[in-house]
Amino acid sequence: MSVEKIIDNFQIKWPITSMEPYGGGHINDTYYVQCQNEGGPDYLLQKVNSYVFKDIEGLMNNIEIVTTHLIKKLEENGIQDIERRSLKLVTTKNEKLYVKDDDGEFWRVFNFIEDHKVYDGAPNTEIAFEGARMFGKFLNELSELDPTSVVDTIPNFHNITFRLENLEKAIDENPAGRVKQVKEEIKYVRSRRETMSVIQHLGEKGLIRSRIVHNDTKINNVLFDQQNKGLCVIDLDTIMPGYVHYDFGDGVRTCANTGSEDDADLNNISYDLEMYKAFSTGYIESVHSVLNDTERSTLAQAALLFPFIMGVRFLTDYIAGDVYYKINYEDHNLVRARAQLKLTADGEAKFNELENIVKNA
């Protein structure tokens, strides 16, 4: 079905003047829909990746629950400009949150956040601090909701035991014949099985709280205004019950890396301690009042777990023959895996400093 036909299912203010592919996410297909309505809204149309997300109904309900709560908080606090400060779903003409097209694909529409900036990596410590403050505020405000009110959109998403089992399965099956090229990476991953399970074990023992977490706190999932103040947290598909470590970890992994997520030159990759400090300070400023002592004292562990778990996931997808992530070239997943494992190793070497920074933040 054409995108023009899809968008016709939604309650939007016509007429559309243009519709074009938008953004650089790895998962969904996104389109910017511009309308010719004086002062009225534009829209963001997304095809949700149904290979990655099996429970679209649950996922869309999660987004509705969370955005309704966040909008209520903005209203209670008398914030102006609410439509730029939260995602809001545009419902269909039959008041549904999404449509399923003739090919079985799922589509949804959000308000388009006008006049925003987005960063793939934090260009300076101010952006790292502000992005972190936004993600922390997000977790803080959602801590008022019961975590069981949202469903797992990807079961075991950040469960390292599950991710390591998946890697072993891929190695056994070796469908693309690539295992021989990644012996070193497999050896490193296997040697860290225990040390990378600390957070998982704390959760299983009930020492850290199950919370509603974002689970994809890359800096490009915060939209900023022209003055570089945070506007809005986006990309809400992976909201699920989880641990605060997941959001802190993914944040520092992306914000405080001197290289890029898929840097082919491993010499570029390391933890930038100034950026790490800026992210930690912004994040902890927003969340410290809701965390318990164990959560606070173990947060830095996430700076190891997150590049590690991402390394494991990229490596698994490389071995599986690139079935999950969008790739731009043949060995892209391998390059990503190596980059993330390099960041893990750098975090291990600097762990005392990473821990002290969090303690003092």
Report the interface residues with ligand ADP, using CB under 6 A.
22-23, 25-28, 30, 44, 87, 110-113, 116, 118, 220-221, 234-235
* Cα-to-chain-centroid distance, residue 165: 22
Q: What is the smallest separation between the CB atom of 332 and Mg ion, expressed in angstroms?
A: 17
Sign of CA dihedral 292, 309, 140, 256: positive
Output the smallest distance, CB 228 to Mg ion, in A. Answer: 19
Residue for token pair 């079935």: 323
82: tokens are 């609410």
Within its chain, how far is the Cα of 30 from the centroid?
16
Q: Nearer Cβ to ligand GN1, position 153 or 286?
A: 153
For residue 29, the cross-strand partners are 47
The number of C-alpha atoms within 13 Å of 148 and in the hemisphere containing its C-beta is: 0
- Cβ atoms of 108 and 235 closer than 8 Å: no
User: If binding is defined by CB under 6 A, does position 322 make contact with ligand GN1?
Assistant: no
Helix orientation angle between 125-142 and 244-255, rounded to the nearest 10 degrees: 170
Q: Does 121 interact with Mg ion (rule: CB under 5 A)?
A: no
Q: Is 52 one of the binding residues for ligand GN1 (CB under 6 A)?
A: yes
What DSSP letter does each residue of 212-256 carry, written as one string? EE-S---GGGEEE-TTS-EEEE---TT-EEE-HHHHHHHHHHHHS
CA–CA distance, 324 with 314 (Å, rounded to integer): 9
| 250 contributes a contact to Mg ion by CB under 5 A | no
Question: Rounded to 5 degrees, what angle do the CA atoms 98, 103, 104 make?
Answer: 45
Kindly state whether residue 218 participates in binding ligand GN1, applying the rule CB under 6 A.
yes
Given Mg ion, ligand GN1, ligand ADP, none, residue 222, with its beta carbon under 5 to 8 Å by kind, binds none
Which one of 8, 13, 23, 26 is in contact with ligand GN1 (CB under 6 A)?
A: 26
Task: Give the nearer residue to ligand ADP in terms of CB position, either 44 or 312.
Answer: 44
Closest CA to 222 of 251, 199, 195: 251
Residue selected from 235, 263, 317, 322 as contacting Mg ion according to rule CB under 5 A: 235
> Does the footprint of ligand GN1 cover residue 217 (CB under 6 A)?
no
Give least dist CB 254 to ligand GN1, A.
8
Q: Which of 42, 235, 263, 317 binds ligand GN1 (CB under 6 A)?
A: 235
CB of 355 to Mg ion, least distance (A): 29
Smallest distance, ligand GN1 to C-beta of residue 253, A: 8
Q: Does 261 bind ligand GN1 (CB under 6 A)?
A: yes
Q: 34 or 294, CB closer to ligand ADP? A: 34
Which positions lie near Mg ion, rule CB under 5 A? 25, 221, 235
Which positions lie near ligand GN1, rule CB under 6 A? 25-27, 52, 216, 218, 221, 235, 238, 261, 310
